């Protein structure tokens, strides 16, 4: 099976090339079919790898193909690393990727640029697979930047709309800020360890003591990259804007896969992070802040995709908290379950938007459950899963993070619980406003309301099943001794000294479950009462908002703040550099030197100007001087 590993990324690449070169010749839906089949092929090979002994963990396998960048001691081959971490990521990317490709065949059916969409989607899968397969940091970085490119291309997919184009630019540029950190981290790593190859770096790092400055610097710089890609404070503002892209893109790139690249990177580098507890502490704080901050914003959003976007931010924050606590497998577990239920929620939202003829504002929806029964049902499952209702997938992964946080710090546990409550509130608010109550859209929209075709609903149902059962991959210790997910990953993960190994007591686990079930029931009742029964829909006019609501609605005015603090001053500075410094001063000096020389030479020039008057005048003066000299 290993000899086919190279096909995993190459198949989608071929799909990309094939679709983009023959876009015009490809009839009907064939671009979508080619795109889906290539990803299916990758999925099948990934499954093969998953059952291969190499992924069992004892001996990770590195397959080297050819030299990429070789300069002196810097050796960067194109080579893949197959181990439990990459296998888990491969399955998520190709599995969910395949479902979303199939869904897109239905969703994008009426778009003029159907072929272009699939070519980008395939290119994205290619880069994402390179990201998780690469056996060194530079190759990972190549995938890292590549997925950023695809994200840019897909956010700005409908390029006639300049607002979308701005969102695309913003995403790319913010990611670039993170990438600079990442790149410097890689270089510092090369300078420190003399290699960027995972295996060599990690074995060299084992000799370092905890919190050694260089290691902290490397891990921090790498994490800057993760803050960009996984949209953590302060580099998160691009992700909500990224919702400008078509909905399958939001599901695939901006929820399930690309934005979790930062988590993958930290898990991959767990050996480095484990010996840098300060960085871990920092990651916990950033993750926690992002989790609670964006959850509050989600409370007041009225665009169905924006709510989900902020919820993604919040969940990513959760994952980073887990990583910060040294619970790497828990983080990756949440990546997995999140991929299931968030992809599901986005795709279901897409189905709603599709049915509503493009409408995304939940204030204009309502009562959709009768017209869209399947969509409603799967959205409900997604909501239950993300809110952490047992036994849906989100419950187990979230419960695991809460338990780990409890062992670490009461405050952290408290904040995470609050976030969890807020999550349930905005998710049920979204659910009830969209699917319950009465229909608030236009007459035309009501007329067109219809359930989506099978090509859309089947992927939804599969994801719903995964969101329901996915959690059983990692049952807590209360139920079983075999944490399938954790055990699978255990061989390649390390444990930092700060992580307490003690398992939470069974009593605590039961209590946690009990309390969360009661709290959730209460939230569901209250939101149902408010948004479904009494139909307290947020006002369409901003003037009627309460002040706190307005602040949340405007996302704490962070975009405006960034504009004032970073963007405007940069342009102002550039303008000054150009109009004053460059033209007046630097060029001014050059011209002044030039003029000086010209003035000087004008004097000399008189001697050769051919003016008889001056010659005669000079001659007369000369004669007089000679006479005067001779006289004495």
Partner 1 sequence: MLSVLIFFPFVAALATLIAKENAKRVALGATVIEFALSVWMAMQFNPQGGTQFMVDYWWVPSLGISFKVGMDGISMLLVLLTTFLVPIIILSSFSILKSKISNLPLFYSLILFMQMALVGVFVALDGFLFYIFWELALIPIYLICLMWGGKDRIRITIKFFIYTLVGSLFMLVGLIYLYLQTPGTHTFDIQAFYNLHLSASEQGILFWAFFLAFAIKMPVFPFHTWQPDTYTDAPTPGTMLLSGIMLKMGIYGVIRWLLPVVPMGVNEWGTTAIVLSVIGVVYASCIALVQKDFKRLIAYSSIAHVGLISAGIFSLNLQGMQGGMIQMLSHGINVVGMFFIADIIMSRTNTRNLNELGGIRNVAPTFATYFVIILLASVALPLTNGFIGEFLLINGLYQYNAWMAAVAGLTIILGAVYMLVAYKKITLGEKNKLTETFTDLTSHEKIVMIPLVIMIFAIGIYPKPFLDIAEPSVQNLLNIIHGTILK
Please report, as ranges, the residues that interact with partner 1 according to CB under 8 A. Answer: 66-72, 74, 138, 141-143, 145-146, 149, 152, 156, 159-162, 165-166, 169, 172-173, 176-177, 179-180, 183-184, 187-188, 190-191, 570-571, 573-575, 577-578, 582, 586-587, 590, 594
Tell me whether residue 138 or residue 464 sits nearer to partner 1 (CB atom): 138
Minimum CB separation of residue 178 from partner 1 in Å reads 10
Rounded to a whole number of angstroms, the CA Rg of the chain reads 31
Closest CB to partner 1 among residues 41, 178: 178
Q: Give Dmax over CA atoms of the chain in angstroms.
A: 126
**Rounded to the nearest 5 degrees, what angle is found at the Cα of 530, between the Cα atoms of 527 and 532?**
85
Residue among 525 and 571 whose Cβ is closer to partner 1: 571
Q: Using alpha carbons only, what angle is made at residue 37 by residues 34 and 42, rounded to the nearest 5 degrees?
A: 130
Write the DSSP string, 194-214: S--BHHHHHHHHTTSPTT-HH
CB of 218 to partner 1, least distance (A): 12
- The two tokens of residue 267 are 């898990």
Token pair of 615 as six digits: 């010659």
User: 68 or 508: whose CB is closer to partner 1?
Assistant: 68
Least separation, in Å, of the C-beta of 166 and partner 1? 8
Distance (Å) of CA 185 to CA 76, 229, 261, 286, 324: 16, 15, 16, 19, 19
In the complex, the smallest distance separating the C-beta of residue 14 from partner 1, rounded to whole angstroms, is 15
Shortest approach of partner 1 to residue 165 CB, angstroms?
5
Measured between alpha carbons, how far apart are the two ends of the chain, in Å? 111
Q: Kindly tell me the number of DSSP H helices and DSSP E strands found in the chain.
A: 28, 2
- Quick check: 265 and 232 in contact, CB under 8 A? no
Q: Rounded to the nearest whole angstrom, what is the least distance from the CB of residue 133 to partner 1 in the complex? A: 14
- The least distance separating partner 1 from the CB of residue 164, rounded to whole angstroms, comes to 9
Min dist. Cβ of residue 238 to partner 1 (A) = 13
Smallest distance from partner 1 to CB 510, Å:
50
> Is the CB of 190 or the CB of 346 nearer to partner 1?
190
Distance, in Å, from the CA atom of 246 to the CA atom of 110, rounded to the nearest integer, reads 13
Residue 71 vs 502, nearer CB to partner 1: 71
> Could you give phi then psi for residue 134, rounded to 5 degrees?
-50, 140
Number of Cβ within 10 Å of residue 571's Cβ equals 10
Residue 227: CB atoms within 10 A of its CB come to 25
Q: Which is nearer to partner 1, 20 or 360 (CB)?
A: 20
Judged by CB, which is closer to partner 1: 74, or 497? 74
Q: Which ranges constitute the DSSP H helices of 558-611? A: 558-562, 568-576, 587-605
The CB-of-568 to partner 1 minimum distance in angstroms stands at 12
As measured in angstroms, the least distance from the Cβ of 127 to partner 1 is 9
Question: If we measure between CA atoms, which residue out of 510, 515, 527, 503 comes closest to residue 427?
Answer: 527
**537 DSSP assignment:** P
Measured from the CB atom, is 409 or 574 closer to partner 1?
574
**CA–CA gap between residue 423 and residue 314 (Å, rounded):** 8
DSSP type of residue 557: G
The two tokens of residue 12 are: 């989608």
Q: What gap in Å lies between CA 340 and CA 392, rounded to an integer?
A: 11
| Residue 540 C-beta: closest distance to partner 1, Å | 28
Using alpha carbons, select from 287, 323, 335 the residue that is nearest to residue 494.
Answer: 323
Residue 74 or 626: the one with the smaller Cβ distance to partner 1 is 74
For partner 1, the closer of residues 66 and 507 by Cβ is: 66
C-alpha distance from residue 57 to each of 48, 60, 82, 131, 167 (Å): 15, 6, 9, 20, 41
Q: Which residue's CB is nearer to partner 1, number 577 or number 606?
A: 577
């Amino acid at each position: 099976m290993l000899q086919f590993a190279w096909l995993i990324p190459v198949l989608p690449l071929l799909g990309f090339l094939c679709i983009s070169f023959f876009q015009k010749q490809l009839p009907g839906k064939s671009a979508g079919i080619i795109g889906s089949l290539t990803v299916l092929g990758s999925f099948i090979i990934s499954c093969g790898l998953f059952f291969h002994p190499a992924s069992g963990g004892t001996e990770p396998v590195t397959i080297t193909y050819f030299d990429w960048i070789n300069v002196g001691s810097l050796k960067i081959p194109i080579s893949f690393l197959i181990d439990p971490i990459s296998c888990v990521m491969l399955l998520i990317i190709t599995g969910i990727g395949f479902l979303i490709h199939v869904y897109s065949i239905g969703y994008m059916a009426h778009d003029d640029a159907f072929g272009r969409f699939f070519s980008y989607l395939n290119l994205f899968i290619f880069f994402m697979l390179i990201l998780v397969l690469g056996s060194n940091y530079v190759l990972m970085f190549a995938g890292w930047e590549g997925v950023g490119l695809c994200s840019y291309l897909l956010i700005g997919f409908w390029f006639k709309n300049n607002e979308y184009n701005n969102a695309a630019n913003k995403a790319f540029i913010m990611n670039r800020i993170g990438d600079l950190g990442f790149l410097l981290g890689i270089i510092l790593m090369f300078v420190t360890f003399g290699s960027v190859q995972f295996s060599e770096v990690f074995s060299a790092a084992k000799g370092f003591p905890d919190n050694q400055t260089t290691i902290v610097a490397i891990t921090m710089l790498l994490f800057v990259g993760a803050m960009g890609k996984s949209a953590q404070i302060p580099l998160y503002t691009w992700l909500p804007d990224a919702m400008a892209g078509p909905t399958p893109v939001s599901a695939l790139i901006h929820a399930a896969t690309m934005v979790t690249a930062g988590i993958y990177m930290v898990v991959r580098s767990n050996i480095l992070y484990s010996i840098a507890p300060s960085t871990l502490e920092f990651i916990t704080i950033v993750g926690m802040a992002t989790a609670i901050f964006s959850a509050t914003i989600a409370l007041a959003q009225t665009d169905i995709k924006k709510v989900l976007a902020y919820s993604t931010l919040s969940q990513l924050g959760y994952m980073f908290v887990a990583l910060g606590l040294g619970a790497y497998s828990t983080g990756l577990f949440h990546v997995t379950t999140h991929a299931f239920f968030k992809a599901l929620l986005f795709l279901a939202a897409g189905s709603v938007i599709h049915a509503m003829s493009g409408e995304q504002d939940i204030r204009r929806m309502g009562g959709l459950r009768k017209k869209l029964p399947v969509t409603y049902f799967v959205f409900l499952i997604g909501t239950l899963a993300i809110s952490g209702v047992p036994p849906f997938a989100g419950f187990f992964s979230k419960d695991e993070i809460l338990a780990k946080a409890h062992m670490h710090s009461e405050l952290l546990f408290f904040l995470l619980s609050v976030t969890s409550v807020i999550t349930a509130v905005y998710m049920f608010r979204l659910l009830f406003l969209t699917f319950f109550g009465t229909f608030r859209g236009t007459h035309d929209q009501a007329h067109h309301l219809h359930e989506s075709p099978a090509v859309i609903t089947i992927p939804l149902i599969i994801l719903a099943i995964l969101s329901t059962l996915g959690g059983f991959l990692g049952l807590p210790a209360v139920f079983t001794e075999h944490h399938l997910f954790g055990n699978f990953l255990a061989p390649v993960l390390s444990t930092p000294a700060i992580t307490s190994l003690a398992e939470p007591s069974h009593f605590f686990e039961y209590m946690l479950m009990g309390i969360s079930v009661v709290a959730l029931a209460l939230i569901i009742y209250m939101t149902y009462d408010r948004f479904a029964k009494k139909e307290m829909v947020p006002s369409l006019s901003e003037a009627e908002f309460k002040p706190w609501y307005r602040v949340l609605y405007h996302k704490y005015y962070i975009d405006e703040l960034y504009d004032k603090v970073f963007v405007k001053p940069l342009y102002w500075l550039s303008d000054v550099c150009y109009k004053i410094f460059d033209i007046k001063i630097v060029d001014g000096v050059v011209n002044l030197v030039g003029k000086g020389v010209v003035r000087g030479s004008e004097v000399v020039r008189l001697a050769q100007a051919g003016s008889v008057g001056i010659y005669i005048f000079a001659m007369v003066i000369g004669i007089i001087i000679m006479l005067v000299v001779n006289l004495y």
